[in-house]
């Protein structure tokens, strides 16, 4: 199984080498064109607090350097949209179409990027899972792949056999010796497509959210929560339990309390974070959800108004960059 030479060459021509300069020094990563007039997607963490962005195309005979500016960022999904500074006679450019529908477990995929300083490297694998959730938010959906990914692959495309991008690389998992273990993630094509269109529109992303944290209720977590909170009434049910709600918070204002167990939204059973994420992703800011919760053994209903997701991505990526300088098993490529 392999991409045809023409598909591989087209995909390679759409992949960009990115070098950044800023207060913390220089860095590099990958990105790819998503339009014929110079729009590029990459990971936000590559351009985080950087003041200069240089890019290169795959062109051994004429390796010109170009500049780009940041059009908009989505810190929640670790995606940034750039625009190249190009002359009209260079257009149209080769770009990758984003696949939003046909993304299935077992599909063969290819990754092109600049891993470990080796430019325009191709690795291959399959989609291992098509519906993971991001650590930053359940609103962001990821695909998991087993293609080799290393530092420098960040921001590169995950390409199917039709030559379309089914996602963008975000993270990979390493063992204690810093070796990849075949578990890589990327923002899924359908979510990436919407992010790109929103950023092209006005440079910003808005997401409806409840602004609170939930944990899955499982036999193990029920025991754990009871041990940690001896006075809490935690029934043996499936659902999502609310945690870390303070009295001056928005969720408290809307009626949620610590250890409320969310079992239904708008009359639909909601037992896991995936179902809740789907409901939120199909809603709008200002929509009113009808929540059904179990509180201290009593079932009750109340309305909940969705607000815009608040996420301090500058602080998040400052802390992440500091954390990644220390040894750990799950880091960004």
CA distance 314 to 75: 8
Residue 238: how many CA atoms within 13 Å on its side-chain side? 7
- Find how far residue 38's CA is from the centre of its chain: 22
Q: Residue 264 in 3-state DSSP? A: strand
Strands 261-265 and 240-243: antiparallel
Q: What is the number of other CB atoms lying within 10 angstroms of the CB of residue 24?
A: 12
CA distance 122 to 12: 9
Which is the catalytic residue, given 78, 107, 146, 260?
A: 78
What are the tokens at 272? 């896991």
- For 92-210, where are the E strands, in sequence order? 108-113, 121-133, 141-145, 157-160, 165-174, 180-188, 208-209
CA distance 211 to 13: 41
Do the beta carbons of residue 132 and residue 143 sit within 8 Å? yes
Which is the catalytic residue, given 128, 130, 154, 193?
A: 154
Do the beta carbons of residue 234 and residue 208 sit within 8 Å? no
78 as an active site residue: the answer is yes
CA distance 251 to 5: 54
What are phi and psi for residue 244, nearest 5 degrees?
60, 35
Do the beta carbons of residue 163 and residue 3 sit within 8 Å? yes
DSSP 3-49: --HHHHHHHHHHEEEEEEEETTEEEEEEEEE-STTSEEEEEHHHHTT
CA distance 51 to 31: 17
Do the beta carbons of residue 99 and residue 105 sit within 8 Å? no
What are the tokens at 37? 């007039």
Which is the catalytic residue, given 45, 114, 130, 242?
A: 45
154 as an active site residue: the answer is yes
Catalytic residues: 45, 78, 154
């Amino acid at each position: 199984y392999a991409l045809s030479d023409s598909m591989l060459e087209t995909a390679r021509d759409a992949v960009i080498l990115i070098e950044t300069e800023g207060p913390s020094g220089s860095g590099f990563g990958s990105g790819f064109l998503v339009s014929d007039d110079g729009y590029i997607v990459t990971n936000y963490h590559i351009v985080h607090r950087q003041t200069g962005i240089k890019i290169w195309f795959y062109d051994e005979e004429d390796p010109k350097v170009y500049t780009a500016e940041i059009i908009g960022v989505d810190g929640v999904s670790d995606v940034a949209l750039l625009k190249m500074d190009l002359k009209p006679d260079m257009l149209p450019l080769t770009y990758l179409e984003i696949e939003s529908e046909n993304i299935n477990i077992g599909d063969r995929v290819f990754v092109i990027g600049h891993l470990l300083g080796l430019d325009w490297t191709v690795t291959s694998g399959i989609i291992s899972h098509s519906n993971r959730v991001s650590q930053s938010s359940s609103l962001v959906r990821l695909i998991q792949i087993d293609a080799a990914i290393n530092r420098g692959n960040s921001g590169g495309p995950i390409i199917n056999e039709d030559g379309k991008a089914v996602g963008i690389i975000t993270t990979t998992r390493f063992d204690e010796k810093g070796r990849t273990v075949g578990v890589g993630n990327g923002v899924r094509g359908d979510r990436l497509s919407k992010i790109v269109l929103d950023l092209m529109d006005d440079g910003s992303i808005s997401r409806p959210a409840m602004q609170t944290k939930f944990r899955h209720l499982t036999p193990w977590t029920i025991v754990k929560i009871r041990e940690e909170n001896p006075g809490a009434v935690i029934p043996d049910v499936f659902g999502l339990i609310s945690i870390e709600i303070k009295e001056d918070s928005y969720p408290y204002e809307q009626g949620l309390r610590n250890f409320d167990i969310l079992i239904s939204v708008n009359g639909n059973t909601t037992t896991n974070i995936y179902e809740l994420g789907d409901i939120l992703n199909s809603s709008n800011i200002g929509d009113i959800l009808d929540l059904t919760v179990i509180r201290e053994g009593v079932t009750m209903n109340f309305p909940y108004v969705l607000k815009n997701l608040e996420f301090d991505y500058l602080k998040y990526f400052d802390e992440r960059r500091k954390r990644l300088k220390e040894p750990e098993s799950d880091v960004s490529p």
